[in-house]
Chain A
Amino acid sequence: MIERLKQINPVFLVLALLFVAIAILSPYFLQPTGYMNFLKRAAPIAILAVGQLYVINSGGFDLSAGALVTLTVIGSSILLDGDASATWWVVLVMLGVGVIVGTANALVVSWLKVPSIIATLGMMITLSGVALTWSGGAPRGYLPENFRFFGRYLIKDVPLIKILPVAVIVMVIVCAGMWWLMHRTNYGKRLIAMGDNPKAALLAGVPLTETRIIAFVVSSVSAVIAGILLGGFAGVSTDVGVGLELQAITAAVIGGAQLLGGRGTVGATIAGALVLQAMFTLLNILGFPKPIRDVVQGLILISAVVIAGYRRRRSGG
C-alpha cells in the first residue's frame, strides 16, 4: 500500500494540499463560481503547458509560445477591429499562423541543426518584433463579443455546478485531444522514444523530422488557442503573453516531465499548471504583490527539478 502511494506523482498531492489551503483561507473558493473561475483562469496556462510538453518530450524547448500568444491577441484585434462577422476566418488565420510558426521552429532545429532553445528564442524575439511593429507599440482595434466568447462567456444555470465557463470546455476538449495524441497513438510513442534517445529512434525507423514538426506545431497551435482565450477574458494588451512560455515549462516540470525528453505525461502536466495557478491564487489571497509570484515560481521550478531527480535516484536503486 505504501509502495503504491510512493508511485503516485507527488504533484497530485501538492495540488490537493493547495486546494485545502485555499479553501480554508477563502471559503468562496468552494462555491461553484469560485472554483469555476479558478479553472477558467487556469485554462490558458494548462493548454500552453500541455503543448509545451510535446516539445519537452521530444527533447527540446519552445520559448516562442508566449510571444505567439501576444501576436495572436494583437493580430486578432487589428484584423477584426470589432467586426464580428470576421471572427471565424480570423481564428482560422491565427491557427494557420500557429502551424507555420511551429513548422518553422521544427525545420530550423531539424535541417539547420540549431538547438531548439536557440531556434525558439530567435522565433520569440522575431514574433515580439512583429507584434510590436504591427500594433505600433500600443494596442489598436478591439475584439468583438463573439471572439471574446471563448475566453469570457459563462454558461449559466448548469445543474450541480451552476456555471460553466466556455474556456473550461475549450480546455477539456483541447487537453483531451492532446492527451489522446500523446498517450493513445503511435505518434505519441514515437515522440517519447525520440526524446529518450534520438539516435536509437532514428535507427528503429522513427521519422524524426516529421515527428518534431508535429510536436512544435501542437505547441504553437496550443499557444494560439491560449491567446484566443486570454484575449477573451483579459482583453488586448501588448504584454499579455510575456513570460507565459516559462510558466508553461514550469508547469510541465512540476508535473514531472523530464527536461531533454523521454518522460512526461499530459495528466501530470495539467496538474502542474493547476498547482502553479493555485499557488498564484494563494499568494493573491495572502495579499502578496505580483513580483513575489515570480520569486515563488522560480523557487518551485528549481524545487520540482530537485525533487524529481531525487525520486528518480531513489526508484532507480
Chain B
Amino acid sequence: MTGDAIFEMKGITKVFPGIKALDSVSFSARAGEVHALVGENGAGKSTLMKVLSGVYQAEEGEIFLRGRKVRFQHPLESLTQGVSVIYQEFSLLPDRTVAENIFLGREPTNRFGILDAARMRRETRNVLALFGDRHRFGPDTLVSDLDVAQQQMVEIAKALSLNAQVIVMDEPTAALNDAECDLLFQLVEDLRGQGRSIVYITHRMREIRRLADRVTVIKDGKVAAAFDDVPETGQIVEAMVGRDIGHFYPDPATSDEVGAPVLTVHGGGNARLFDIDLELCAGQITGFAGVQGAGRTALALALFGAEPFETGTVSVEGQPVSLTSPRKAAKAGIAMLPGDRKAEGLMLMQSVRDNGMISARAFSNPLGAPNNTSVATLDQMDKLFDAFDLRAANYEVEIQSLSGGNQQKAIVARWLSLAPKVLIFVEPTRGIDVNTKAVIYAQMRSLAQDGAAVMAISSDLPEVLGISDRVLVMSDGKIVAEFGYGASETEVMHAATEAHLGLETS
C-alpha cells in the first residue's frame, strides 16, 4: 500500500492554543483513486489538508510525496510539487479573464520579459481541452461572466496547468445544482482516469457512493474509521457521529397541526418573478424545488423585502403589508435565514452573543441597554443557545471560530428572538455536517409546530422532499406545480425541468 501511494501522511499531530486539532492522523492516496475524506464540521478534515498543502505546519508526524519526505512551509511549495487544494471559496479575480486567472503570478513571458498573451491563451486552451467540450467558455471569458460551476472548472484548470498530481476538493458540490454536480462527477472521474489522486471532502453520502474508491472518516481530530472500499452508508454515518442517528427527517405535520394561512401573495411579480400566488400556512413546512435560476431565491428575497415585488399584494394574517425593505418585512413578522452564511448572515468579528442579539437590538429603543432589550434579554438568548446545543468555548468568542452548523444555530436564535410568523430558510444546511443537519431539521419542524409558517429552499432535492409537508415547484420565475408529502424525486424533477425544456424547444 505504501509503495504506490502518491502521498502519505503519518502520525500527523497539530495543536492550536487550547485544542488538539489533529491527533496522530495517518492518511494517504494512491495514483488514480478518489479518496473520500468525511467527518463533521470541525472534525479536522480541513486542518489535515492545510497541513498537507503547507498552510499549517504539524507539530508531529511526517509527510511523504512520491516516497520522498517533504515539509512544506508555504502553500506555494506544495503547489509547485503537484499538490493543489480547491477550497470552497474560490480565489479567482472576477474582473480578469480565465487565462489571466489560471496563470496569475506566473504569466508566461517572451524573451523581452513581456507578457506572452498568445502563449497564455494557447496553454489555457490546452488545459481546458482536458474537459472535453463541457466547459462552454474560452480563455478570454471574464470570470465574472461564469456561473459557480464554471468558476470551479477554472480552479480545477489552474490545478491541472500546474500539473497537480494530488487534487484536494473541499466540498466541491456545496454550491452546485444537480446538473452541475453531474458534470463535476464526470470531471473527477476523468481526473482519476488520468492517474491523478483526488482527495474528496464531502458530507453527501450520494457522492461518496458515486465517486469514492476509499473512505476515511475523521472525528474529533482522529481517524474514526478507514475503509479500503466504500461501505454501507450507515457504517460511514455511524463512524462520523459515533452513534446511530435514527430518524434523519422529522415526521410531517399532522392535519390538525396545520393552521390558518399566515402569508398570502396575490399576483406577485418583479423582474425575476411572475404571477406568484402563494399561501403559507401556520404549522406547515412548504418546500420549494426547481433548477438554479428558477426563481426560488428571488421569491425568498421578494418576501423578505430585499428585492421587493413590484406588482401584486401581500398580506400577513389578513393584514396587507408593504415589504419594501428587510426591516419592514421583519416588522411584518417575516424572517429569512440567508443562504450564504458568511456574506449575508454573520458579523464575523463579533461574539456569538452579539450575533444572536443583533435583531433584538435592531428592533428596540436605540438608546436602550443592549443586553436587556424590549424584544429579548441576553439571558433568553443564552437559553436559546443552550436549547439548540450550540457548541462554543463560551458565548463571548468571535463567531468565526465556530463550525458552520453552530453558526447557523446562532442565526436561527437571532430570528427566534423576534417571534416571527413566517420563517424562510434558504439553503439551511449548506456546508453543515450530517449530525447537525438532523438537528436543524428537527428545529424547523418544532418551529412549525409552535405555529410558524416555514418556507424551505434548498438545491438539495432529497432534503426539500424530506422536510416539507408540501412542495412547490418553480420554473422561470413561476410556480408551476405542487406536490404533497411523499412526492418522488423523479416527478418533482420532471415538473421542474418540463416547462423549461418546453420553452427551449419552441
Contact = CB atoms under 8 A, between A and B. Distances in A.
Given A185-B366, A186-B368, A262-B349, A206 B336 contact: no
Contacts of A263: 349
Given A186-B366, A206-B362, A262 B350 contact: yes
Interface of A: 181, 184-190, 192-193, 196-197, 199-207, 258, 262-263, 317
Interface stretch (B61-69, B168-176, B351-359): B351-359
Interface string B210-225: 0000000000000000
A200 B370 contact: no
Contacts of A201: 347, 358, 362
Nearest to B399: A196
Given A189-B358, A190-B358, A317-B17, A197 B346 contact: yes
Contacts of B343: 197, 199-200
B370 A186 contact: yes
Given A184-B370, A186-B368, A188-B370, A200 B326 contact: no
Report, as a range, how many residues of chain B touch the other chain. Answer: 20 to 34
B362 A185 contact: no
Contacts, number: 90
Interface string B410-423: 00001000100000
**Sorted from nearest, which 4 A-B pairs have the closest CB atoms?**
A196-B347, A205-B362, A187-B366, A186-B361
Contacts of A202: 306, 326
A109 to B, nearest CB: 18
B330 interface: yes
Contacts of B363: 205
Contact of B350 (A184, A193, A206): A193
B350 A204 contact: no
Contacts of A196: 347-350
Interface in B280-326: 304, 306, 326
Contact of B362 (A192, A204, A262): A204
Contacts of B346: 197, 200
A193 B368 contact: no
Central interface residue in A185, A189, A199, A262, by most chain B CB within 10 Å: A189
B16 interface: yes
A189 B354 contact: yes
Given A193-B350, A203-B344, A207-B327, A184 B358 contact: no
Central interface residue in B16, B350, B357, B365, by most chain A CB within 10 Å: B350
18 contacts: A181-B367, A185-B366, A186-B361, A186-B362, A186-B366, A186-B370, A187-B367, A189-B361, A190-B361, A192-B350, A193-B354, A196-B349, A196-B350, A197-B343, A197-B346, A202-B326, A204-B358, A204-B362
Given A193-B350, A204-B414, A186 B344 contact: no
Central interface residue in B338, B349, B363, B368, by most chain A CB within 10 Å: B349
B344 A193 contact: no
Interface in B345-399: 345-350, 354, 357-359, 361-370, 373
Interface string B227-245: 0000000000000000000
Nearest to A211: B366
Given A200-B344, A203-B345, A258-B349, A189 B370 contact: yes
A190 B362 CA distance: 7
Given A185-B367, A187-B367, A203-B306, 6 more contacts: A196-B350, A203-B326, A203-B336, A204-B362, A205-B363, A317-B16
Nearest to B354: A189
B384 to A, nearest CB: 15
Nearest to A187: B366
B206 to A, nearest CB: 31
Nearest to A197: B347
B150 to A, nearest CB: 24
Nearest to B327: A205
A188 B362 CA distance: 10
A37 B352 CA distance: 43
Contacts of A199: 343-344
Contacts of A192: 347, 350, 354
